[in-house]
Amino acid sequence: MGIEETLKKYSWIAPLLQKADRETRSTLMKNFRQRKKNFFPEGDFKADVDNLIKCMLCPNMCRFDCGSLAAANTESMSPAYKSRIAYYLSVGKIDPLDPANKEFIDLMYKCTNEETCKAWCPFGFSVVELLETVRDDLNAKGLMPGYVKPVLDNLHKTNTVEDHDIFKTFKEKGIDNIETRGKDDVFFHVGCISMKFPSMIQSYIEILQKAGVKFSTNLEQKACCGAPAFTIRDLDTAKTLAEKNMGLIESSNANLVVADCPGCASTMIEKYADIGVKIKPKITHIVNFIAQLITEGKLKLDKEIPHEFSKVTVHDPCHLSRNLGDLKSMRTIFKNIKGLTLLEPIYNNEHTHCCGWSGALHWSDKKIAQKEASNRVSELKDTGANVIVSACPLCEVGLDKGLENDEKNKIKIIDISELLLKVL
């Protein structure tokens, strides 16, 4: 983070410090400078104790924009509180081996990975990543919570998050599978959760075909990207899956990987490097690639959008907007659709709010995840649109959870690929 961005995030506190008396300012600065002496414990830890301490001492602006905190409506869900508990667990002030402290261990998993905390953090780090380092220590002590173990069992048994190989259901779902001949320009990475939305996958396939892209999907050989294993912090499983994907991508000889799930793209770009797996081709989310095709004139949107889809609102996936930093691609696509009016929600782009269904929260506390999904749907409904468009299959799962049963016939949740196909 640049110095200007850091100062901007701190600007609100400067007048408060100026108004404080000299003794208060001196005490504050002295304690901050001595944080390592006062707080840093002796011993070896996988947990990022240094940054946990910084998070504990911060004015905690992140608490004002954490979706999980807003959903739970309890201070214990704030990012800074989690960091304090994480610190206490790591250094032994709270004994993680005491069964009475299980709720504190569970708290380390009650996070959606949305990273709004990072958008506000003056240090520029993510509580999501800090909690992951604490999970490493907890797992090393054999304290992995039982509710994440079925996910790992599935990954070991089927190479997917489901209890069956969901990729091999493509025939019954009407999805075209395109096996590589080793001469592809693009490898189309389809995610596990994407397979729950066959119309989305098929729409992307038809869009790529209309643009004349030479690509493959290789669904017969596919495996999960490993994102759930990274979240749980079973890095051996994550590496096994990463290597499977690396081999499959290399067999296609493609020079570009496009993923239909922002979480998959983020995992392959950022997480694989952490475990020593390097994907040689460039990796991007598929909306970025499609926006490029439109801009270059390789994909022409000739038709006008049908009237029932003429007014839409957009849910920016956290992984796309914050992790991948792509704030333009979806709107480039929207601008090129004739007759479309986009009604922006109040929280959008890098300040988007989470669907509630990412990270580990929906495993550890479905009630809070459901409430977070409901809160996000309410923000989107406030635009007046009855069509919600996103570009992430997991978000589309979460947003659907946020709808009341009697709303599901009135409000449509669709992937941007399905919107695009209506004008091609």
pLDDT recorded at residue 28 = 66
The reply to whether 29 falls in a domain is no
Nearest CA among 351, 269, 365 for reference residue 318: 351
Task: Give the pLDDT of residue 203.
Answer: 98
- Where residue 32 falls among pLDDT bands split at 50, 70, 90? low
Q: Band of the pLDDT at 322, cuts 50, 70, 90?
A: very high
Q: What is the DSSP letter of 162?
A: S
Does residue 358 sit in the same domain as residue 322?
Answer: yes
- 151 and 290 fall within a common domain: yes
**CA quadruple 91, 95, 97, 99: dihedral sign:** negative
SS3 state at 306:
coil
Let me know if residue 369 belongs to a domain. Answer: yes
Distance in angstroms (rounded) separating the CA atoms of residues 113 and 391:
17
Tell which of 250, 272, 295 closes a domain: 295
Least confident of 28-37, 98-107, 176-185, 403-412: 28-37
175 and 235 both lie in a single domain: yes
CATH of the domain at 403: 3.40.50.1860
Q: Are 111 and 251 in a shared domain?
A: no
What is residue 26's predicted lDDT score, i.e. its pLDDT?
75
Residues 264 and 400 in one domain: no
pLDDT for 361-404, tens place per residue?
Answer: 999 999 999 999 999 999 999 999 999 999 999 999 999 999 99
The label of the residue with tokens 């395109």 reads: 178
**pLDDT higher than threshold 70 for residue 34:** no
**288 and 312 part of one domain:** no
Q: Is the pLDDT of residue 1 over 60?
A: no
DSSP-assigned letter for residue 405: G
Q: Does the residue 11 lie in any domain?
A: no
Alpha-carbon distances, residue 96 vs 85, 93, 138, 142, 149 (angstroms) = 10, 9, 8, 10, 19
Q: What is the pLDDT of residue 371?
A: 97
List CB contacts of 301: < 8 A, sequence separation 6 or more.
294, 336, 337, 338, 420, 423, 424
User: Average of pLDDT values for 176-183?
Assistant: 95
* Residue 158 belongs to domain with CATH number: 3.40.50
Mean pLDDT value across the chain: 92
Structural domain contains residue 3: no
**Domain contains 20:** no
In a domain? residue 209:
yes
Residues 6+ apart with CB under 8 A from 29: none
Backbone phi, psi, residue 412, to 5°: -100, 140
The number of domains in the chain is 3
- 399 and 350 in one domain? yes
Can you give the residue range of the structural domain that contains 42?
34-143
Give the N- to C-terminal CA distance of the chain in Å, as an integer. Answer: 41
Same domain assignment for residues 160 and 137: no
- Residue that terminates a domain, selected from 127, 143, 159: 143
**The pLDDT of residue 3 is above 80:** no
Residues 349 and 415 in one domain: yes
Residue 349 inside a domain? The answer is: yes
Per-residue model confidence as pLDDT tens digits over 265-311: 999 999 999 999 999 999 999 999 999 999 999 999 999 999 999 99
Q: Confidence class of residue 51 from pLDDT cuts 50, 70 and 90? A: confident
Reported as a single tens digit per residue, the pLDDT across 211-264 is 999 999 999 999 999 999 999 999 999 999 999 999 999 999 999 999 999 999
Same domain, residue pair 226 and 324: no
Give dist(CA 326, CA 317) in Å, integer: 10
pLDDT at 99 exceeding the cut of 90: yes
Q: Report residue 29 as tokens.
A: 């600065």
On whether both 226 and 261 belong to a single domain, the answer is yes
- Are residues 54 and 83 located together in one domain of the fold? yes
Residue 302 has a CB neighbour count (10 Å cut-off) of 7
